[in-house]
Amino acid sequence: MVDWLPYFFAGLLVGAALAGIVGYKMLVRWQHAASDMETQLRSHSFELQVTLDELAEKNQQLEQQSQRDALSGIYNRAYFDRQMSAEVKRSRREQRSLAIILFDIDHFKKINDTYGHLAGDQAIKQVSAAILQQLKRPGDKLCRYGGEEFALILPNTTLAGARQLAEQIRQYMADNKLLLAEQHVSLTLSAGCYAAIPQPATNNDEYIAFADTALYRAKSAGRNQVQSYPPMAASDCLDIPGEVNEH
């Protein structure tokens, strides 16, 4: 029996060694498998992140497209309605004056009839760009209200400030001809202004109605001019102490 002990222990050692080798190889395989799985997970996570970023970018593009007028590139009527509602609420909360200007291209039908509808489209684009060029504050939002009519939302602005800016824009358009159908064409604007600190019952319709009343007065009085509601003299468009006037 004693003679077999060396062989017995040798067998145990060999068995342990073999078991260790097998275990080591299995551990290495598991480590490789885990490493491969981690690499795949990282690759999938990266691909997923890229996909999510692309979706976010496309959603942002779609959102911007839904807010923009396809022809002029400025904000559209739907954006105007939402933004105006938000500004009315904020101005009411902060008790600051909110102003709106409605612009209308004078004799726009004549432009279409004389130079064609493509020239009319060019006029819309160039007038939009010209108005934007006169704006200095990022909070001022220009929207295409409909047809040849534009709406300008002016937070933190008095009636005097709105009228001053409207006159500046009107004068710029009167002094600069547009290139339409390869011809230099004079084009003018009429404008109606309204501003107030919103009251609890104030909504978009009130601002639009009063600005539209002023615009109608400007067009009835001969066009190419700025009117306000309530009416005010041009000399009143200077800075008024104690009121907000950033234009």
Read off the pLDDT of residues 165-215 as tens digits, 9 standing for 90 and up. Answer: 999 999 999 999 999 988 999 999 999 999 999 999 999 999 999 999 999
Across residues 155-159, what is the average pLDDT?
98
| 245 in a structural domain | no
pLDDT of residue 199: 95
Statement to judge: residues 210 and 92 lie in one domain = yes
Opening angle at CA 166, ends 127 and 135, nearest 5: 65
Structural domains counted in the chain: 2
| 243 in a structural domain | no
What gap in Å lies between CA 102 and CA 226, rounded to an integer?
Answer: 10
| 231 in a structural domain | yes
pLDDT of residue 19: 62
CATH number of 87's domain: 3.30.70.270
| 107 in a structural domain | yes
| 183 in a structural domain | yes
* Residues 207-225 pLDDT 10s: 999 999 999 999 999 999 9
Statement to judge: residues 44 and 90 lie in one domain = no
Question: Among 6-10, 29-33, 104-108, which stretch is predicted with the lowest mean pLDDT?
Answer: 6-10
Annotation says 167 is catalytic: no
| 71 in a structural domain | no
pLDDT of residue 120: 96
Instruction: Give the active site residue among 87, 94, 148, 167.
Output: 148
| 189 in a structural domain | yes
> In the predicted model, what is the mean pLDDT of the chain?
85
Residue where a domain terminates, one of 26, 41, 66:
66
Statement to judge: residues 97 and 42 lie in one domain = no
The CA radius of gyration of the chain, in Å to the nearest whole number, is: 35
pLDDT of residue 184: 95
Statement to judge: residues 158 and 56 lie in one domain = no
Statement to judge: residues 114 and 223 lie in one domain = yes
* Residues 53-106 pLDDT 10s: 565 555 555 555 689 999 999 999 999 999 999 999 999 999 999 999 999 999
Confidence of residue 52 (pLDDT cuts 50, 70, 90): low
Statement to judge: residues 35 and 96 lie in one domain = no
* Residues 107-143 pLDDT 10s: 999 999 999 999 999 999 999 999 999 999 999 999 9
Is the pLDDT at 28 greater than 90? The verdict is no
Range of the domain at 43: 2-66
What gap in Å lies between CA 72 and CA 93, rounded to an integer?
Answer: 33
Q: Which residues contact 59 (CB under 8 A, 6 or more apart)?
A: none
Statement to judge: residues 45 and 145 lie in one domain = no
pLDDT of residue 40: 79
Residue where a domain terminates, one of 17, 47, 66:
66
Instruction: Find the Cα–Cα–Cα–Cα dihedral 125, 214, 153, 74, rounded to 10°.
Output: -10
Confidence of residue 41 (pLDDT cuts 50, 70, 90): confident
pLDDT of residue 9: 55
Is the pLDDT at 244 greater than 80? The verdict is no
Question: Among 112-116, 155-159, 186-190, 229-233, which stretch is predicted with the lowest mean pLDDT?
Answer: 229-233
Statement to judge: residues 58 and 81 lie in one domain = no
Confidence of residue 242 (pLDDT cuts 50, 70, 90): very low
pLDDT of residue 38: 76
Statement to judge: residues 156 and 34 lie in one domain = no
Statement to judge: residues 213 and 127 lie in one domain = yes
Burial 184-221 (b: 16+ CB within 10 A, else e): ebebebbbbbbbbebeeebebeebbebbbbbbbbbbee
Residue where a domain terminates, one of 66, 93, 120:
66
Statement to judge: residues 83 and 201 lie in one domain = yes
> Which of residues 19 and 98 earns the better pLDDT score?
98
Statement to judge: residues 94 and 192 lie in one domain = yes
> Which of residues 112 and 48 earns the better pLDDT score?
112
| 202 in a structural domain | yes
